[in-house]
Amino acid sequence: MMEQILKNNTALKIFAFFMALLFWAYVTGDNLHDSVQVQEITRTYPDVPLAWLNLSQELALVEMPEKVQVVLSGPSDVLNNITPQNLKAFVDLRNLTAGQHRLTPTAEVPDKVKVLSFDPQQVLVELEAVESPQMPVVVDITGAPTSGFIRGEARINPSSVFVRGGRSQLNKVDRVRVIVNIDGISNDWSQVVPVQAVDRSGQVVAGVEVSPGMVEVFIPVSEPQKEVPVKVATAGRPPAGYKVQQIKVEPATVIIEGSEKALTAVSEISTETVDLSRLTASTELNLQLNLPKEVKVLFEGQIKAEIIIAAD
């Protein structure tokens, strides 16, 4: 009996020792895991983009650093996932007035991460009151129409825009322009294009807002044109005892359009023929023009001719 109890007691001791060993291994491993997980490090992040918040619509931002250096502390596994590109640093411009201000940046960081410092610790921010003058829009045209075609004067709608910004930036604006390319076109050109506020060297001025930011540009394109006199074509002579004293025509000249070859061959445009053989008194007539082939006239009315008849 006593021997059986001792044997059982020995087994119990072995079992208890084994369980204690397992428990120790579990606790030690868990603590070791926790100590690795909570290990804190310090890391420096250079060239973190600096943004701003809460800028009043009545103010323009003139000067502020683009980047700052940020020093963080926290769990290594968290800091390993942070880069200068996804780290958000900013300054709050709420309730500020025009002038220079020294502000302490703030950073948006994950839980368990602390911001230790910024470099610089304070940034210089300069604000100016917003102005919004009106300026005309000019067109910079590149390229040319197809050979044999000519372009007319560009029309812009709207023809002027508002430029908005601080005075120091607005003073850099030399003109407000749009750039269009009409290379190779043979018809009227129309397009909505962006407007740019540029300096004397043609560079876009930063910090200046243009409103509206898009305008419509229309450029007429046509064949070559030529101004030629109008001649009243006549046939016959007035009856005996009468003569043609003078022939007046209105308009005296018209603009014709066509290919260069066709226009070269035209020196004047004649009207339909007027028979003088029956005229014994002065008369006024509405006449049509006789146009050569491949030529059109840029005149939609009728030609008015006055034929003055006098006694011979």
Look up the CATH architecture of domain 225-311. Answer: Beta Complex (2.170)
Q: Which two tokens stand for residue 126?
A: 């300069």
- Taking CA 170 as the corner, what is the angle to CA 169 and CA 171, rounded to the nearest 5 degrees? 90
Q: Give the closest residue to 145 by CA, choosing from 102, 190, 182, 108.
A: 182
Residue 40 and residue 77 in contact, taking contact as beta carbons nearer than 8 Å = no
Domain at 40-129, CATH from 3.40.50.150, 3.40.50.620, 2.170.120.30, 3.40.640.10 = 2.170.120.30
Q: How many CB atoms lie within 10 A of CB 228?
A: 16
User: Could you tell me the fold of the domain covering 132-222?
Assistant: RNA Polymerase Alpha Subunit; Chain A, domain 2 (2.170.120)
Which residues of the chain does CATH 2.170.120.40 include?
Answer: 132-222, 225-311
Sequence-ordered list of residues with C-beta below 8 angstroms from that of 17, at least 6 positions apart, any chain: none
DSSP per-residue letters across 9-34 = HHHHHHHHHHHHHHHHHHHHHHHHHH
pLDDT tens for each residue of the chain, 312 residues long: 445 544 556 655 665 566 666 655 555 555 544 445 558 999 999 999 999 999 999 999 989 999 999 999 999 999 999 999 999 999 999 999 999 999 999 999 999 999 999 999 999 999 999 999 999 999 999 999 988 788 999 999 999 999 999 999 999 999 999 999 999 998 999 999 999 999 999 999 998 999 999 999 999 998 888 899 999 999 999 999 999 999 999 999 999 988 888 898 999 999 999 999 989 999 999 999 999 988 999 888 889 999 999 998
Peptide bond into 120 cis (omega under 30): yes
**Do the Cβ atoms of 141 and 185 come closer than 8 Å?**
no
From-to residues of CATH 2.170.120.30 in the chain: 40-129
